[in-house]
Amino acid sequence: MSTEHELTPSGYIGHHLSFNVKQVAEGGFWSVNFDSLSVSFFLGFIIFAFFWWVARGATAGVPGKRQAFIELLFEFIDDQVKGTFHGERHKFVAPAALTVFVWVFAMNAMDFLPIDIMAWIFHHVFGQEVFRAVPTSDINTTFALALSVWLLMIAFSIKVKGLGGWIHELFCAPFGANPLVWPFNLLFNLVEYVSKPLSHSMRLFGNMYAGEVIFLLIGMWAATGWSGTLFGALLGGVWAIFHILIVTLQAYIFMMLTVVYISMAHESH
Amino acid sequence: MNINLTLFSQALTFAILIWFTVKFVWPPLLAAVESRQKTIADGLAYAERAKHDLDLAAKRSADILREAKEKAGEIVAGGEKRGSEIIEQAKAQARVEGDRIIAGAKAELDKEVFRAREQLRTHVSAIALAGAGKILGREIDAKAHNDLLDKLVAEI
């Protein structure tokens, strides 16, 4: 929390919802949200290094607790992918699903960190005036993920059906190959191609952003005195517990949609 | 919330993470899990086979036991038969032997009787001679009356 400014509700919320923007070049686009980037990169690095460490020492015999936990996750993801994707899933889709699920879950889970304490730490330990710890409540992150999946989807579609097949599908699905319905087919497919990454990214972003805002609103109760602080703490706890469900569910949904989109691209009409 | 370069950085990070997982995390986990699954499947199959073998062995041992019992019964029956045969044989032999002994005894007896009769005859002739001598009051000349006596003995 910034101490220089006067503490008003809108100031408090605005402060917590502004990104730590680093300008890299002229123009509105050429800047990065340092907080989203660093947190997501840090989480990804830590988690996947841990995974690598466990996977490297994985034994086919009796697994240790650490390996058993990773395997639990592995089997869970593998099961989900197996149910949706019909093809050689171990080459790409299943590991990609694991990446998505774990990374998104970790980034979502940053929501559990108490915002004001984290803000204090970021301010006083790392010297960052503003810092948002939840990368998935940054539309850039979710859109980057969704767009990557979107590109993968198109790439797989072309890889499976060939470029001609893909273009053929753009014009001839879902209504038929009659030249009269080509425009409708194309329009339909374009809408689908635009809506997929949008809904994919917005769903996650919206949930995480809303969760963060609710934490902020609950946090503001502390401004009303001791009873407000106590009640706010209780309510914050309840919301955090409920948020465990949201965090997991959103990560799961994001992963499942990723798998579904890619497997849809795999299946030709 | 404006779109900026973060989008590409995050996409790049995402790509790197996916590549890393595809390359280094997933394969060893898959290998470990699949190899364990295979081990477990093999173990189960082996257990199944062992159970089958056990069943077979139990059946075979039961068969062998039954066969052995049958054989033992046969042997006992054979032994009994042979025993009774031997007993019959022995009885027959004993009977023959007994008959033979009886026949021998009878022959001996006959011989004894004959001898006794011979003796008795001579004794009787002597007694008769003596009696006759006493009755006549004088010595009978054995030589003179031998013919007579012999006739008498033959008559007895």
Three-class SS string for A59-128? CCCCCCHHHHHHHHHHHHHHHHHHHHCCCCCCCCHHHHHHHHHHHHHHHHHHHHCCHHHHHHHHHHCCCC
pLDDT(A61) > 50:
yes
Are A144 and B14 in contact, with CB atoms under 8 Å apart?
Answer: yes
pLDDT of residue A74: 92
Q: What would the two tokens of residue A37 be?
A: 């980037």
- List, in order, residues 6 or more apart from A160 with CB less than 8 Å away: A265, A266, A268
B31 CB within 8 Å of a chain A CB: yes
Q: Which of A111, A211, A206, A30 is nearest to B3 (CA)?
A: A30
Domain region containing B58:
7-155
What span, in angstroms and rounded, lies between the C-alpha atoms of A174 and B121?
154
pLDDT of residue B120: 85
- List, in order, residues 6 or more apart from A84 with CB less than 8 Å away: A256, A259, A260, A263
Residues of chain B scoring pLDDT < 50: none
Q: Which of A203-212, A213-222, B48-57 has the lowest mean pLDDT?
A: A213-222
pLDDT of residue B117: 87
Are B27 and A54 in contact, with CB atoms under 8 Å apart?
Answer: no
Domain region containing A220:
9-266
The total of structural domains in chain A comes to 1
Q: Does A248 fall in a domain?
A: yes
- List, in order, residues 6 or more apart from A129 with CB less than 8 Å away: A2, A20, A123
Cα A61 to chain centroid distance, Å, stands at 34
pLDDT of residue B138: 61
Q: Does B2 fall in a domain?
A: no
**Could you identify the residue written with the tokens 């879902």?**
A174
What's the mean pLDDT when you consider all of chain A?
87
Q: Does A1 fall in a domain?
A: no
pLDDT average, residue stretch A10-31: 79
Residue A4 pLDDT grade (very low, low, confident, very high; cuts 50, 70, 90)? very low
Residue A62 pLDDT grade (very low, low, confident, very high; cuts 50, 70, 90)? confident
Distances (CA, A) of A259 to A245, B3, B77: 21, 25, 81
Q: Does B91 fall in a domain?
A: yes
Quick: pLDDT tens for A81-140: 998 888 888 888 999 999 999 999 999 999 888 887 888 888 888 888 788 888 998 888
Cα B136 to chain centroid distance, Å, stands at 85
Are A259 and A97 in contact, with CB atoms under 8 Å apart?
Answer: yes
Q: Does A197 fall in a domain?
A: yes
Q: Does A2 fall in a domain?
A: no
Optimal mutation site among A56, A69, A98, A205, interface B, most CBs of chain B within 10 A: A98
Phi first, then psi, for residue A57 (nearest 5°) are: -95, 15
A112 CB within 8 Å of a chain B CB: no
Asked if the ipTM is above 0.85, the reply is: no
pLDDT average, residue stretch A161-185: 85
Interchain proximity B32–A98, CB inside 8 Å? no
A68 CB within 8 Å of a chain B CB: no
The total of structural domains in chain B comes to 1
pLDDT average, residue stretch A177-204: 89
